[in-house]
Amino acid sequence: MSERTGTSPRVAIVTGGSRGIGRETAERLAADGYAVVVDYAGNQAEADKVVAAITAAGGEALALRADVADETAMADLFDTVEARFGGVDVVVHAAGVMTLAPLADLDLDALDRMHRTNVRGTFVVGQQAVRRLRAGGALINFSSSVLGLAIPGYSGYAATKGAVEAMTLIVAREMRGRDVTVNVVAPGPTATALYLDGKDEETIARAAAQPPLERLGTPGDIAGVVSFLAGPDGRWVNGQVLRANGGVI
């Protein structure tokens, strides 16, 4: 159960909640009983679809637009959530961008964009989360299993996710005495638009054959891991990186 009391549900913010893993996570947490805030960067239509789906299933959701790397926008988002729902219990930072190229060829503007969203964004969202999460809460950031796979072409993206893992494990220790868990989910190849974009069928088939389970992950696979970390059964998991990748590494 995610209920704080008989009438007051726990509240979750999901960044990047309009598509892919973020969307699946928002819908899963809503099914778990959370009131869910869907943060989105620019695609209001997709965010509204998530809210509509949650509402149609009997849940409670709200879509809010905020750039995860903009400290003022994120502070305003958290203010709005606290005013609407009374507090925040779970923050899932699923927003991210990825550009692939060998290090020698990676456009530095693309590197800066990844750094802004993936590193600065994690820091900005994390600052608001650690200041505001209620006791019994959870902060869940996203990395990637490519850190361990060392796949050519991923140097810029993997570098940003290495930073995410480093800061998250430190924040877990900085939260001593607050009764708030802080963890990282690191998916392997997962069938989302972010992962599939620009890849040919051969590349996708090769990735699907890597895990012993012989398939790509699904957004639902990852949302289930987030649900575990956010809920009561995950309370003794803290300061960890969970590599949800079907056994690739």
* Domains of the chain with bracketed CATH: 11-190+220-242 (3.40.50.720)
Instruction: Point out the catalytic residue in the list 34, 154, 157, 195.
Output: 157
Q: Is 40 a catalytic residue?
A: no
Looking at residue 4, its pLDDT comes to: 53
For 53, the token pair is 């789906």
The terminus-to-terminus CA distance of the chain in angstroms comes to 32
pLDDT along the chain (249 residues), means of 10: 62 96 97 97 94 97 98 98 98 95 97 98 98 98 92 95 97 98 92 72 80 84 97 97 87
Quickly count: other Cβ atoms within 10 Å of residue 182's Cβ. Answer: 28
Nearest in space to 73 (alpha carbons), one of 105, 39, 44 = 39
Looking at residue 210, its pLDDT comes to: 80
- Side-chain half-sphere CA neighbours of 153 within 13 A: 7
